[in-house]
Structure 1
Amino acid sequence: MTHGRTGPARRTLLFLALGCALLCGVFLLVRRVAQWAGDHPVLACVVAVPLAAAVVTLVHGMPRLRELRRAARAGMAEADVEAREAAYLAPSPEAARLAPPMEEEVWPTTEGAGGRAAEWDGPTAGGLDCSALDADAFECAVAGLCERDGCREVEVVGGAGDLGADVLALAPDGRRIVIQCKRYSDTHKVGSQDMQRFGGTCYTVHGADVAAVVTTSAYTAPAREYADTCGILCFDGESLDAWSRGTGPAPWAAV
């Protein structure tokens, strides 16, 4: 019984001793630094200014860092859910072998001459009919809307090696616009992984003043949370329809 009670007591005394030693060390270090600063006041001021700036920057950056970590954790959780759902819904190897190959497009396209999807010929009074566009034509359609609303130097850059950008343009007021286009079906939402890939390049690589993701579908909650944290605009199917009809704002006019 005596040994059973002395074990925790010894650990407590050890922790107290280590704490006292740490406090003493900190006190001696502070005292030493203060003594050195008193002997070298000019050099101490030179060292103190950048050190204080670094501390202030760190303190101000901590809330944003926490927001980014929270959004990243939400994205990882969403990816885990999607992976579990995909594993649950995945067909058996035999069924997968017999099934026809899946199309890359999430939404069926309207084929035109030469096997290409129907070309976009501008918005109509009924809005943009995305069901008649493939992914490439959808990017051209978004670029056309930018040109219609006064943007300059509009360029479609989507494809392999686009680093997350599909449409680049200069807004009428000179701001640089970077848009990623997601032509998804109503049941396929833009997830946080899509948003994080775009967020990693839209500002640092493409130098965006206005960064927006334009989709025919909607966004998951973690995707919107990450976008809000990074200042990325989320243009869903309803916003896109209003923009194409001329009854709603363009992405750069929504901020």
Structure 2
Amino acid sequence: MPKRTGRRTKARQRQVLRRRAGAAAGIVAVLVFIFWQYPWLLIAVAIAAAAGASGWVLWRNHRTEVDGDRAWREEERNMALERSMTAIDAMTWQDFEHYVAALCRRDGCTDVFVVGGSGDLAADILGYMPDRRRLVVQVKHYAPHRTVPSGDMQKFVGMAFAEHNADVALFVATCEYGKAARNLAVKHNIVALNRNLFGSWNSGAPLESLLALSGAGGGMARRSSRKRQQDMP
């Protein structure tokens, strides 16, 4: 029985192959007849095929040039960003605080001043966003290989809202954040700019556009105008 089954299977396979070969031969015969009767059709098909192949080659070359240009621009942007961050790393921590304050002013923040000193209560810079939300900034000028520890974030969380009535609590660092510090930022609505996000800010991205990219968003909900006026110096 197994031998008969095997022979039947092979016979079916040969039959299928013969049918396919016959169908292919029929198609070829029809095409030959059509092109024999209408030779101009063959020329039209050849021209269309050549045009299609030429168009595909041109499209591929265009895509290659576009992708190459995009990669080159991205590399140039990264190199410029790295050069600017090298200059930032060379600053003193005092100069960096004033530099961050200048970036706030550049983006429309008002009444911006550097607190400084040992009694700053975890706020290095105070001011107001363009819409008059209270802005409180903590700045850490750390080496790029370091990470912001949770202790720094805990201190800022405890002071930014209770002592300084922050609407937007901004933590700016020239390095990355430790996992615990990052989790605290998300939990307590702290906008935490790491090295890369600060680099984007430094390169021209408006502060307002960065608020939703870190922490839990753009700080606390905007308070009433009466409450803001009470907090204004």
1:178 aligns with 2:136: yes
The alpha-carbon distance between structure 1 residues 171 and 214, as it changes in their structure 2 partners (threshold 3 A), is: same
Q: How does 1:121-160 map to 2 (within 5 A)?
A: 127=84, 129-160=87-118
CA separation in 1, counterparts of 2:168 and 2:100?
A: 15
Match of 1:231 among 155, 165, 189: 189
By how many angstroms is 1:212 displaced? Answer: 1.3
Query: Residue type matched to 1:135 in 2?
Result: W
The alpha-carbon distance between structure 1 residues 125 and 186, as it changes in their structure 2 partners (threshold 3 A), is: closer
Q: Is the 8 A contact 2:149 2:177 kept in 1?
A: yes
CA separation in 1, counterparts of 2:209 and 2:104?
A: 9
Gaps of 5+ in 2: 1-80, 213-217, 219-233
Q: Using structure 2 for the length normalisation, give the TM-score.
A: 0.53
1:212-251 CA distance string (max 9 Å, x none): 1100001001111111111111100101110011136447
Q: Using structure 1 for the length normalisation, give the TM-score.
A: 0.49
Match of 2:178 among 205, 217, 220: 220
1:166 aligns with 2:127: no
Query: Residue type matched to 1:247 in 2?
Result: A
Q: Is the 8 A contact 1:233 1:251 kept in 2?
A: no
By how many angstroms is 1:131 displaced? Answer: 2.1
Rg: which structure is higher?
Answer: 2
Tell me which residue corresponds to 1:242: 200
By how many angstroms is 1:188 displaced? Answer: 1.3
1:188 aligns with 2:146: yes
Query: Residue type matched to 2:164 in 1?
Result: H
CA separation in 1, counterparts of 2:194 and 2:91?
A: 17
1:206 aligns with 2:159: no
Tell me which residue corresponds to 2:17: none
CA separation in 1, counterparts of 2:191 and 2:90?
A: 25
The alpha-carbon distance between structure 1 residues 236 and 189, as it changes in their structure 2 partners (threshold 3 A), is: same
Tell me which residue corresponds to 1:105: none
The alpha-carbon distance between structure 1 residues 233 and 163, as it changes in their structure 2 partners (threshold 3 A), is: same
By how many angstroms is 1:127 displaced? Answer: 3.9
The alpha-carbon distance between structure 1 residues 151 and 247, as it changes in their structure 2 partners (threshold 3 A), is: closer
Aligned residues: 132
SS in 1 for 2:111: strand
Query: Residue type matched to 1:151 in 2?
Result: C
Q: Is the 8 A contact 1:157 1:165 kept in 2?
A: yes
Q: How does 1:67-106 map to 2 (within 5 A)?
A: none
Q: Is the 8 A contact 1:150 1:172 kept in 2?
A: yes
Q: How does 1:104-123 map to 2 (within 5 A)?
A: none
SS in 1 for 2:177: coil
By how many angstroms is 1:187 displaced? Answer: 1.7
SS in 1 for 2:165: coil
SS in 1 for 2:159: coil
SS in 1 for 2:132: coil
